[in-house]
Amino acid sequence: MIRNLRRKGKEASLLVLGLDNAGKTTILKALSGEEITKIEPTHGFNIKNLVHEEFKLTLWDVGGQ
């Protein structure tokens, strides 16, 4: 599905859910090229927009229990 969207130059949104301390924020920061040595628990949510060629991916990282 994502490959088909990428070919058309579209965008997609992805909600990242999981248990606390599972690495959700670490993955998002690594994908966006941010430093991952100091990561604190997410309060609320983080939104990351990644653009590769003509494909835009919006990642939502939801924190809390």
DSSP state of 22: S
pLDDT band at 52 (very low <50, low <70, confident <90, very high): confident
Residue 62 among the catalytic residues: no
How crowded is the C-beta side of 64, counted as CA atoms within 13 Å? Answer: 5
pLDDT tens for each residue of 8-47: 668 889 999 888 889 999 999 998 899 999 888 888 888 9
Q: Is the pLDDT of residue 6 over 60?
A: no
- Paired with 30 in beta bridges are none
Q: In whole angstroms, what is the distance from residue 23 CA to residue 1 CA?
A: 24
Catalytic hit among 4, 35, 37, 65: 65
The domains of the chain are located at 2-34+41-62
Q: In whole angstroms, what is the distance from residue 1 CA to residue 6 CA?
A: 9
